Structure 1
Amino acid sequence: MKNYIIKRLFLTIPMLFSITFIAFSLTTFIPSDPAEVALRVNEIIPTAEAIEEIRIELGMDKPFLIRYANWLNDLFHLDLGNSYINNNRTVIGEIARSLPATLTLAFFAFIIVIVVSIPIGVLSAVYKDSYFDKIIRLIVFIATAMPNYWMGLLLMWLFALEFKLLPTSGATSLLHFILPAITLSLNFIALYVRLIRNSMLDKMKEDFVFYLNVRGIKQISIILKHLVKNSLQTSINALGMSIVLLIAGTFVIENIFAIPGIGRLCISSIFNRDYPMIQGYILMMGFLFVFVNLIVDIIQVYLDPRLKKGVKGL
């Protein structure tokens, strides 16, 4: 197991460098000149002299690989430069300021996904082709096809405007995260209910379930101790990756509910062509995806005896 973890850690290194290269290359291959953009967003007339001065200040007069090496060196020192919109604000500082709201939203959404999708997926498989199962499959089909921004507006109208139970914007209390978290979780609930249901149905056809029934073990014990456990092991990779997808998917929800998170910061940076901030967002999401994938793989090997046996041979 130790050798497997070390090997996986070494494999992440080229992936991380690839992410940094892609993020840095954006400012080189984009159609507009970052120096001109930096002037325009600060309402400065982009004359040829001013553009050349900013290019020298940003180090853009140097060759590509030298600029990349300098930028990578700054990255190792946790320096991604300053925002074009406000030169007094650093990229790292803005991400650190916005990230807590996004993580809170993603955390509540993930809890809702786990609490709702697992029992419904299990019950839908146990009562296959019943009215309950048919209704759940219909709801899953509708939820999968429904855009989350439309559902967010619908929930906002119902619970905020009609019933006046929950706030519609901001992130100053936990109540502000209820509607956004539900909106963000709906598509994932539909996905994982279907995934868990299908996994349960596949496990029910395997030989070990037949032998457990022959031995006279109670159905509730077979379902909870064997079927659910084995089904979740096959779904844990997808469930783990949903953490990254939830964080990455907050940009629409944060703009609808006016949550000052990393997604809203990204959208604002894209509209304002704030390239250092966009680079920081791409780096953060790429690194997060790599490390979450690493953690999920290690957990999956630890929980699955078959995978653990193969790892011992490394």
Structure 2
Amino acid sequence: MGCQFANAKSINDNTDKIKVLEEKCYVLQNKQVKADNNLRKLIENQHVAEREIQTLVKKNDAQRLAIDSLQDKCKSLEEAQSTDRENINGKIDATDNNVRTNQDQLQTRTLYGVIVVIVVLAIIVGVACWLTKRIKSGTSTIGDVRRAQEALQAAQTKMQEESVKLDNQLLAIVQKQLDASVTSANKTTGEPDHSLVVKLADEIARIETNLSKMDKSVRGYKQLVQAKDRMINNVRANGYEIISLLGQEYNDGMQFQTRFVPDESLPEGKRIITGMIKMQVNYNGKMIQPAEIVVSQNI
């Protein structure tokens, strides 16, 4: 009996050990399954990461090629800009030289014009003195007076023609200066220099006043009017407005610097703007120079 009891106890102990081992084996199997699953996931993640790396490598290569291409384009643009800058500077220098040459020519021609005017004035004075002496001496005839009048009229016409010719040349030179100033302004920023346009406006004021007192049959009259109008339109394209008040009726509400001159040929009480000393100049709707006018009145 004792031996059987011992065997039974030994069997029970072994059975318990087997159960414990089975439980441990089951736990290990579960851990192995989890480890296999985790390993599988890691492998899958690794494959995904490898694919992403390959994609990034391809993108990186493409971006490197794009950067190289952009660098080449930037280099080409820099070279083109350098060439353009040299060309523009060369053109500006050439324009400046042309402007200086034209200014020298204008000064020379102006000198010639002044000489012609002086000669014509001398002729007028000489004819007037001669005619005065003839009248005082009582030896003048109607024919002499008529010839003197014709000579004076011819001299006056010659003066007007020379004046128109010089003004046409002046406007041509100012146009070249304006073209050069626009080219220079395109390279700079900030408030533009209005001095050249204001100077042009003052010249146009003088020209318009002279034209208003000149016969339209004078040689070069129409060309000067067209050149003057063309200059006004050209500066308008750059934001400038040159305003003429010539021929308008004057009223006390006009806030301009005004010079009044008597004129009995006007109807009584009339006041007409007959001269422009300075034109009103606006830039982008803002006045940069007020007008200065001459008003003929019969009051």
Q: Which has the higher contact order (CA 8 A, sep 6+)?
A: 1
TM over 0.5, shorter chain: no
Structure of greater Rg: 2
Higher helix share: 1
User: Normalised by the size of structure 2, how large is the TM-score?
Assistant: 0.25
Higher strand share: 2
